[in-house]
Chain A
């Protein structure tokens, strides 16, 4: 494959390329000239391995504009001060219109620039100062600007403020990097957005705010009482919302002005001139007023997402764009025939590209954990309407088709499968998977709706509106269901539960006493005693993360402030509160992300079998081998790898332990409460945390050594350890309840592209999906790229720029992930179906 000359490659027809399964070449040959130009023109913002691509620079205009206004407004309530600063940015930051583009809006001054959010964490600000390659020229001048900004923000960031009130011991343990990751602030966050409210238009929201303010001012003129006093704090918050909404309308109108200027003074091509005038009309209309057509609805949507990211680092993109934009597509394409399907596809494809081009600086640890992407932007497709009927529409299909044409790795899709999904839609999902995109992930809608009701008490009609809050967790998009802040700062490195149970709470990698002292396992009399130690370590690990995030959450309005998000949150507008204030009616939708989870089940099974049941080894021998990182104990290690029971083989011995662990966690999840007094269920998944934590988790009884990659999924078997085929994997995963035993469970599967070619391949996959659904699993996602292609891409990355793989809860271009992650994906078992 890699030996073909450029000449023969050019000569191959689309059909021939499809037969060779070179879907990236098929895409390049079949997409429109506009999409081809825009796709190839994008600056890649996701880090390659852990580093930014050459030419990517940090945007210094944004923090300078923000800070100069912020300093002028010193002394105001934080939300008002921030609103003034954001408005100053939106009025003054350079904007641009890329040739051939039709959707406007970018976070930053130029396409190759990425922004960073200097109000979040001082340590990240310092990291930027020392990051090679991203400082704009002239470097010396830029470094001086950065130093001035860092001097000012040092001690003033959201996390700096939080750190002053955190328990110092908790802070040290968290900062060790061993037990979890994330930042307990909405400075690094993501938020659900209710477009049924937002699409009323910002002028309507402004009118609503004005009405609230007038009502409140009248109340304040009445009889003085303690009940009136809190109202004084609401007025500046509403004023802050007004300021950002008005600035947002002005920001859109700047694009309208530029488009009109280009049409009148620069553009000679009549077709492009017409497009520019349409862009001008669109940006004059939205977000001020409700959208009337597909271009306006996509533009409104993109402005909202961009504006939210001017306010903060939104690292995920909870959204359901087929549901939001479907009616506009239907009106334009089917009813009024204002757009052809091809023209609509151009807009949809560009929507994906505009999203892909967004770049926000992330610290090194986050870049390693999310290789190749800026954030986990999983868009939700399909599903049901609030009344339970099928919600799939022509836009669902358009997004799937556009995704195969532009082949971006961000956003990806998660498809809400349910029994009423039409075959034509299911085929579109399969085609995306067959084309090697790694998405959509398949989500079991009835299970996840029930799960959402079970864990948080969301009414079923609201639960049915759910979107992926990040990679995996469903969240309703309703007034009281929307979640304004990332709660997954409670991201646990779960392999530490078993490691600490083995080491009396001591961490042998970072050399600190971390968890409680649960005893030397050599002294334990039976497996039950060992399991009891595991439970205590599990509870400790969850508690430290959850209490930190809870504190960060309630303090966020005081330490950070979200005027824009508040202005588009119905409950915040209604109550004059910050959107992140948990007292404004939010029902709660928190979860603990569980990285490196399955190692617990496999390690516990190995200990139970070899140490306690068969007494093949003593605990002393096992501890010696683990303390030596298995060095000098290779024969014993291989015994633990090959002969101890492993998750994913339909073996009750280990599967029962997995179920037992999950039920212990679920019990504890109901004892942990979020600030809205709701539960904290576990959600096992990994992004690329299995690689990030490889050097932070010591030797384990499943035979893993310090430095070896951890298992890749949330409930995926270890690579190469699932020996009994795909149905056995599904059966293992079906032994626990995906409604009550946790929040969601990530399952990676690799399928053979050869076996799944043609109609027969689709039917095989459909039968597999039926088994998956019948067993009640909530999630599965597929890699369907063969080893030969992946190995060729390792050798010649330039030729395989658009080859995509599923990493974990997200997809990435294969050439953008580290060699270790690439090898880990190749090692995954290819499952033969049928």
Chain B
């Protein structure tokens, strides 16, 4: 089962390796930005449409 830690967009927290950020590049009609969403390292990513294997 693919989990968040296997994804290119996942960056583990140094103070707590069980947590991390899912960092995505977003380009909307007005501006471009990077968005970080907190996720658990072992979260099931099999249904995530943005999953990219490391």
Contacts and interface: CB of A to CB of B under 8 A. Distances in A.
Interface of A: 37-38, 40-43, 55, 91-92, 94-99, 109-112, 254, 257-258, 261-262, 265-266
B13 interface: yes
B35 A41 contact: no
Contacts of B36: 94-96, 254, 257-258, 261
Contacts of A43: 30
Nearest to A357: B31
13 contacts: A37-B31, A95-B35, A95-B36, A96-B33, A98-B31, A110-B35, A111-B31, A112-B28, A254-B38, A257-B13, A258-B36, A261-B21, A266-B34
Nearest to A55: B29
A92 B21 CA distance: 10
Interface string B22-50: 01011011111111111000000000000
Contacts of A97: 33-34
Nearest to B13: A257
Given A258-B21, A261-B11, A112 B35 contact: no
- Which of A37, A254, A257 has most B Cβ within 10 Å? A257
A816 to B, nearest CB: 16
Given A92-B38, A96-B26, A96-B36, A41 B21 contact: no
Given A94-B36, A254-B36, A99 B13 contact: no
Contacts of A55: 29
A284 to B, nearest CB: 12
Interface of B: 11, 13, 21, 23, 25-26, 28-38
Contacts of B35: 94-96, 109-110
Contacts, number: 60
A91 B30 contact: no
Contacts of A94: 35-37
Contacts of A109: 35
Contacts of A92: 38
A112 to B, nearest CB: 6
Nearest to A109: B35
A96 B38 contact: no
Given A258-B21, A258-B23, A261-B21, A98 B32 contact: yes
Given A95-B36, A254-B36, A261-B11, A41 B23 contact: no
Question: DSSP majority for the B interface?
Answer: strand
Contacts of B29: 55
A41 B36 CA distance: 19
Contacts of A41: 30-31
Contact of A110 (B21, B23, B26, B38): B26
- Which of A37, A43, A98 has most B Cβ within 10 Å? A98
A96 B26 CA distance: 9
Given A98-B31, A266-B23, 4 more contacts: A94-B35, A254-B36, A257-B11, A257-B21
B54 to A, nearest CB: 12
A99 B38 contact: no
B30 A258 contact: no
Contacts of A265: 11
B30 A111 contact: yes
A98 B13 CA distance: 21
A92 B37 CA distance: 7
- Which of A37, A55, A96, A110 has most B Cβ within 10 Å? A96
Contact of B33 (A91, A111, A257): A111
B16 to A, nearest CB: 11
Contacts of A98: 31-33
Contacts of B33: 96-99, 111
B23 A99 contact: no
Contacts of A258: 21, 23, 34, 36
A452 to B, nearest CB: 41
Contacts of A96: 26, 33-36
A96 B25 CA distance: 9
Nearest to B36: A258
A42 B33 CA distance: 12
Contacts of B34: 96-97, 258, 262, 266
Contacts of B38: 91-92, 254
Nearest to A112: B28
- Which of B23, B26, B29, B33 has most A Cβ within 10 Å? B33
A265 B20 CA distance: 15
Given A110-B26, A257-B13, A99 B21 contact: no
A69 to B, nearest CB: 14
Contacts of B23: 258, 261-262, 266
Contacts of A266: 23, 25, 34
A810 B51 CA distance: 46
**Top 7 closest A-B pairs, CB basis?**
A41-B31, A96-B35, A94-B37, A98-B33, A96-B33, A258-B36, A99-B32
Nearest to B23: A261
A110 B37 CA distance: 11
Nearest to A267: B34
Contacts of B25: 266
- Which of B23, B30, B31 has most A Cβ within 10 Å? B31
A768 to B, nearest CB: 40
A94 B26 CA distance: 12
A40 B29 CA distance: 11
A500 to B, nearest CB: 48
Given A95-B35, A261-B23, A42 B30 contact: yes
A43 B29 CA distance: 9
A42 B36 CA distance: 19
A110 to B, nearest CB: 7
